[in-house]
Chain A
Amino acid sequence: DQQVKQNSPSLSVQEGRISILNCDYTNSMFDYFLWYKKYPAEGPTFLISISSIKDKNEDGRFTVFLNKSAKHLSLHIVPSQPGDSAVYFCAANIQGAQKLVFGQGTRLTINP
């Protein structure tokens, strides 16, 4: 039973435009949601997180939105740059534990 889902395996966006990556979850016992970026042959790199008590968090070009009623979160990247091409993972932390549950990932390609 997949508790965290990224339904889009891939996304292609033109350089300079907005990239929107989506994530859905089924468990209400998550206290933090995190986004990671991963290049081939490297470990995941932390991008941004949001507490379950907030609905928005912003850091530079990256903004994460959390819609608790819909159990949905999204990552917005504005403007998109070629270096943003990577696989993006959504992850949720189980409340009261240091345990992450990951989505399957979305491969983002930024086209010049």
Chain B
Amino acid sequence: NAGVTQTPKFQVLKTGQSMTLQCAQDMNHEYMSWYRQDPGMGLRLIHYSVGAGITDQGEVPNGYNVSRSTTEDFPLRLLSAAPSQTSVYFCASSLAGTGTLSYTFGSGTRLTVV
């Protein structure tokens, strides 16, 4: 029972480079989302998806792209990395039922942009 798997765990990029943060879940959750956490702040929503083929922007979407071709995967793309994108990134999947709501988070990707 892997839950939510994020790769890589650590990454250093140079300004202007691109990369993709991977996220996969094996719980058949419809909803997936990406958050970033910066020092002294809570997690902030970047992008989210309510199902395959459907994505939308969160609170801090600039500089990031997403797509959702399958239920299991939700990659986050940085097209041209900037130092302001240095952060810890968390992917989550969620399931809503009658009277319940549950989010499961991955272990995070620590990204440094130099």
Contact = CB atoms under 8 A, between A and B. Distances in A.
B5 to A, nearest CB: 11
Q: Is the interface of B mostly helix, strand, loop or mixed?
A: strand
Interface residues of A, number: 25
Interface of A: 4, 6, 31-32, 34, 36, 41-46, 49, 51, 89, 91, 93, 98-105
Chain B residues touching A, range: 20 to 34
B41 interface: yes
Interface in B67-114: 90, 92, 94, 96, 99-108, 110
Contacts, number: 64
Top 6 nearest A-B pairs (CB, nearest first) are A102-B42, A43-B105, A98-B31, A32-B101, A102-B43, A43-B107
A34 B40 CA distance: 19
Nearest to A49: B101
B13 interface: no
Nearest to B50: A98
